[in-house]
Chain A
C-alpha cells in the first residue's frame, strides 16, 4: 500500500475539481474494493477523494418517467430492503442480496458497485503479469488458472470477468447511469457502461477518469411478476458467481411477450444479447424456447481449460432461470435450495 493524500469535498463541484487536479486521484465511497486493491498494490492512488459526504446522492426517488432514481451513495443494503424496489424491481433486490455479505453491503455504494474490479487472481497479484493491471505485461490467465474466467467476449489480452451481481440485474432492467464531469452531465445506457476488454483491458468502463457517477435510473418496467436472479457459485453464500442469470419476462398467456436475459460471471461485462431476447418474443414459455435462447446467448462461447464447464453450466442456468421466471417462482436468496 502506498502513501496517499486525502480530501473530503463538500459538494459535487468540489469533488470534480479534486479529481481533475490529479490524474492519480481516485474517488472513494464504501472502499470495499478499492482499499483491498490498495493493500495488494494493485491500485496506487496518489490522492483519495472521499465522496461520502456529497449532498443529494443518497436517496432513492421517483423519476418523471415513472421509474426510480438511485443516488450513487445509496448503500447496497438500502437498495435490497427498499420497499419500492422490492415491489417494483424485485429482480434488483434479489441480485443485490445474492452478493457479498451484510457487512459489505452496508458499506458498499451503488456507484462503487458499478466500478468494482475483476476478481481475476492475476489482477490481484502484483507479482504476476496482467494486462489489466499493467498494460502490455501479458495475460497469464490464458493457459493458467482460469476456472473463474470469462467464456464470452474475451480478447487475446484479457479473459477477466466483471464480478458484480447487482450490475447483472441492472443490465437486464436497462438501467441508465447518470454521470457528471467537467463538461456537465451525461447519461450512459447500462449496456454501454461496462466494456469488453479488446485491446484495452485496463479500461473496465466508459466512464472517464474525471467523471463521477451520480445516480442509476431505473425505467418504469420492472418485470415484477416474472423474474429471477439465479447465482451459481463455489459455496452457498459469500462467493462470486461462476455463472449467474438475471431473467425477466413479460408473459401474454402462455407466450412470451418480452424477455430480458443478462449473464454474470461469464464476461467482462454483464452479458446480454438483444437478438436472443427478441427471438423469444411470441414463443411459448417452455423449455424448447428457453433452449433456443440459451443457444443464441452462448453462441461463440469459448472455454480456456479450467472454465470449460461454464459453457454447459451457463446453458443449464439459463434454462432454469427462465423456467423460474416463467413460473413466477424466483430464486430465494436465503433458502439456498435451487428452485
Chain B
C-alpha cells in the first residue's frame, strides 16, 4: 500500500534536463551589465624573478582597461593567514601578482582586462616579460634525497600511525619477501569546465561572485580575508560545477584576479582560464612508494613496510594519506609506515579524487600480487587469509565492513575461479589474457552540515544547503531524501545549493557530501514534519488526533495512520488548519562523536580486471572490470553506479595513460593540452560492472550512507597492473603503463 520510497530507487538526475539544454549556468556563463574580461598572462620560467614587464603594447590596444602586474596591483591583506583558505595545507599560500618572485613555471604574471574577451586575449599576447632565472628543480627522483617529514600536519589528514611490532626484524626473518619501488606520475585534474570566475559588481560595495568551486563558503571566506571585505557584502553563487575532482576545493588564482580587478575597476569582471592554464595549479603529486612485505610460507603477513615520498611546492606542504592504507587493509602485527615530502619548483599539488589512496594502494596491492606469485597462492585467497577484521592502525572495530562479501560477489560475477594461476597461461588468438584483482579502501566520513527545509501551502517543498554538486548527483539525492520525508513526488521538491547565503556546509569533497548534506536535509525535513504534524493533529475532526509522529506515514501528499492508511489528512489541509502559509526549519546534522571515537569507518571495494595484450606491439585493452563496492546505504543506484564507473574509468587512465610530462631543464610541464595529456576515450572502455554490496551501517551517518565519491578509483590501477602481470609475466611498477613499458622488459623478469 505504501509507495516505494525514492531513496534506494534508481532515479534520473533532477538537473539532467537543465544540463543538456544549457539552462544550467556555470561560472563563466553568468551575464552582468558592463562586464569586463580578464585574460591571464602565464610565466615562462620555473624559478627566479621578473626583471621587467612591458605592458605598453598591451595597454595601447583599444578596449584595454588595465593591465595588472605585481608592480601596480592593488594592496591585499598583509598576513599569510589571511590568504589561507579552509583547506590550505601548512605553509605560505600562493599570492597571484604578489611580487617579482617566480615560484613555478606557468605562474600568472599579469592580468589584462578589456571590454571583450578577444581584446583581452590579443593584448595579453603583447605583454613582454623579462626574467632572471634561478636554479630550479622539478625532478622528484633527484629531490627525493632531500625529502622530509612535514613538520606541521595538514588538518584532516592523518599522519602515518605509530609503528606496531618490529617490522624490520620480522621482515628480516620472513621466509617470503617482496621489496619494490612503485611510482605514479604527476596527473592534472582537467575537468571539462575550465576554472572561471564572474564577479558581478552590484554597487554599494557589494559583490556577487560566480566561481568554479566545490565550496562557496570557502571562496567567500577567502575573498573576505584577502580583500578585507565583510561577508554581508560578498555572496558566492555557484549552482553548477562542470567537474572539479578536487581542483575546485581551494580557491584558484582566477578568483583572486577577477575580484582584484573588479574592486580596482569598480565594475563586473570575468576571468576564464584556458586549457593550457589548467596545467598551472592543482595536480596530483608525483609519488614514489617503497613497499616491503614479509610473509610466512603460507602467505600469512609477518611484516609490512611502506614509505612514500610525495612531491610538493616550495611554499606549502601538501599532504595526503598515502601509506596508512597499508596498515589497515590486512592483519599484520609488524607494521612501519612513513610519509615524506620533497619540494620542487612547482605549484602546490592538490587533492585529486581519493587523494593519496590510489597511490599507496597501487603500491600495496601490486606488492600483494607479487607476494601471491612468490607464495604460489591465488591472489584472492591471499587477501582473504590476511583479512583484517578490525582497524589495526587505530585498534578500533569498524562501523561496518563487508569487504569479504565484496571479494566473494565480485569474484563470482567475474568468474575468478576459472583463472589459471600461471602468468602467460591464458591466450585468445594473438592476445595474451590476464586477470588481476585489487582491493580498494577510502574513509567514510560525515561532516557537520546545516540545511533548511521550507514547506509552503501550495504543497511545494524547498530544501537548501550551501554544498555543491560537481556532477555527482547531489541535487538528485537531496530531492529523494526530502521527497520521502513528506511522501511527495520528487517534482514537488526544489533543491537549492551552491550559494553562500544558504545554511552552512563544508566543501564538497572527501566522499562525505551525501552522508552530511543528506543527513542535514533529512533533519530539517523532520523538523518541518513535526510542526506540520502538530497542525494536522489540531485540525478539526483530524483522524490523527491521538496518534504520535511514530504512528503515521507521509504518503502521496497526505499524513496517514500507518496502521490504517485510509485515514489521514492532506499536507495542505493540515497547514491551512494551523493557519500556516509556510513552515520553515533549519537544522544542523553532526557526526556522532562517541561513535567516531569508538569506531573506524571506511568504504571498501574489490576490483577485478581483465586485460588483453598484443605482446609484440605492446597494445593493451582492458576488456572487463568488475568492481564490488561496500559503501553502506546506496541512495540512488543509478547515479551511484555512474559515480563508480567514473572512478573506474579514471583508474584506467591512471593505470595506462595519465602523465603530465615535465621538461626538467625548463622546469615546465609540456603536454599541457588534451591532445597530448591522455585520458581514456570510449574506445578504451569496455564492460564495467558495478556491484553494490549490502552493508548496514548505522554509525557513520544518521542516514546509513558512507559515501561513494572516491572509492571507484582506488585499487583500479593495481587490478589492471596485476592483470598485466598475469597476462605477460611483466611486473610494471611505474604508472602509467604505456606501450613502451610493455615492450621494454623481457617476460622472464620476476619480482625483485
Contacts and interface: CB of A to CB of B under 8 A. Distances in A.
Contacts of A95: none
Nearest to A125: B670
A238 interface: yes
Contact of B619 (A1, A232, A238): A232
Interface string A288-320: 000000000000000000000100110011001
Interface string B647-683: 0000000001100011101101011110110101111
Interface string B597-622: 00000000000000010101111010
Interface stretch (A21-29, A83-91, A140-148, A248-256): A140-148
A265 B105 CA distance: 29
Interface in A212-241: 232-240
Given A1-B125, A235-B683, A337-B431, A145 B670 contact: yes
B70 interface: no
A125 B740 contact: no
A121 B674 CA distance: 12
A145 B683 CA distance: 27
Given A1-B118, A148-B676, A240-B675, A336 B621 contact: yes
Contacts of B618: 232, 313
Given A3-B122, A145-B671, A235-B681, A313 B661 contact: no
B122 A2 contact: yes
Contact of B680 (A143, A235, A316): A235
Interface string A133-173: 00000001001110110000000000000000000000000
Contacts of A202: none
B101 interface: no
B118 A144 contact: no
Interface residues of A, number: 40
Contacts of B663: 121, 128, 140, 144-145
B678 A122 contact: no
Considering residues A119, A125, A237, A309, which has the most beta carbons from chain B within 10 angstroms of its beta carbon? A125
A39 interface: yes
A39 B673 CA distance: 12
Nearest to B45: A127
A193 interface: no
Given A232-B617, A313-B739, A313-B743, A140 B684 contact: no
Considering residues A39, A140, A234, A339, which has the most beta carbons from chain B within 10 angstroms of its beta carbon? A234
Contacts of A145: 661-663, 670-671
Interface in B122-138: 122, 125
Contacts of B683: 235-238, 336
Contacts of A339: 430
Contact of A234 (B431, B617, B738): B738
B617 A316 contact: yes
A2 B125 contact: yes
Interface in A1-56: 1-3, 39-41, 44
Contact of B125 (A41, A143, A242): A41
A127 B105 CA distance: 10
Given A39-B274, A40-B276, A119 B675 contact: yes
Contacts of B171: none
A269 B657 CA distance: 26
Interface in B244-298: 274, 276
Contact of B676 (A3, A121, A127, A237): A121
Considering residues A44, A143, A313, which has the most beta carbons from chain B within 10 angstroms of its beta carbon? A313
Considering residues B42, B429, B739, which has the most beta carbons from chain A within 10 angstroms of its beta carbon? B739
Contacts of B429: 337
Contacts of B668: 125, 127-128
Contacts of B431: 337
B121 interface: yes
A338 B118 contact: no
A145 B663 CA distance: 6
A112 to B, nearest CB: 16
A127 B430 CA distance: 45
A124 interface: yes
Interface string B736-752: 00111001100000000
A320 B125 contact: no
Contact of B678 (A128, A140, A235, A313): A235
Contacts of A238: 681, 683
Nearest to A163: B675
Contacts of B121: 1
Contacts of A338: 430, 614, 617, 619
Interface string A315-332: 011001000000000000
A37 to B, nearest CB: 11
Nearest to A317: B617
A235 B657 contact: yes
A147 B614 contact: no
Interface in B424-447: 429-431
A280 B64 CA distance: 64
B678 A337 contact: no
What is the size category of the interface that chain B forms with chain A? 35 or more
A145 B43 CA distance: 20
A107 to B, nearest CB: 15
Contacts of B672: 125
Contacts of A121: 661, 663, 670-671, 676
A239 B678 contact: yes
Given A127-B44, A144-B665, A309-B743, A320 B617 contact: yes
B676 A312 contact: no
Interface string B543-567: 0000000000000000000000000
A337 B621 contact: yes
Interface in A110-131: 119, 121-122, 124-125, 127-128
A234 B681 contact: no
Contacts of B430: 338-339
Contacts of A143: 665
B739 A232 contact: yes
A284 B303 CA distance: 60
B621 A119 contact: no
A121 B670 CA distance: 6
B736 to A, nearest CB: 9
A319 to B, nearest CB: 8
A63 B496 CA distance: 65
Interface in A63-98: none
Interface in B565-624: 612, 614, 616-619, 621
Interface in A234-275: 234-240, 242
Considering residues B118, B612, B670, B673, which has the most beta carbons from chain A within 10 angstroms of its beta carbon? B670
Contacts of A312: 743
Contact of B682 (A125, A144, A237): A237
Interface string B715-752: 00000000000000000000000111001100000000
A94 to B, nearest CB: 15
A235 B380 CA distance: 29
B382 to A, nearest CB: 32
A44 B675 CA distance: 21
Contacts of A240: 675
| 6 nearest CB pairs, A to B | A237-B683, A127-B44, A309-B740, A121-B670, A236-B683, A338-B614
15 contacts: A3-B122, A119-B675, A127-B43, A128-B666, A140-B666, A235-B683, A235-B684, A236-B621, A236-B683, A236-B684, A237-B683, A316-B616, A316-B617, A320-B616, A337-B614
Interface of A: 1-3, 39-41, 44, 119, 121-122, 124-125, 127-128, 140, 143-145, 147-148, 232-240, 242, 309, 312-313, 316-317, 320, 336-339
Interface of B: 42-44, 105, 118-119, 121-122, 125, 274, 276, 429-431, 612, 614, 616-619, 621, 656-657, 661-663, 665-666, 668, 670-673, 675-676, 678, 680-684, 738-740, 743-744
Given A128-B44, A144-B663, 11 more contacts: A1-B125, A2-B125, A3-B122, A41-B125, A121-B663, A147-B661, A232-B739, A234-B678, A309-B743, A313-B740, A316-B617
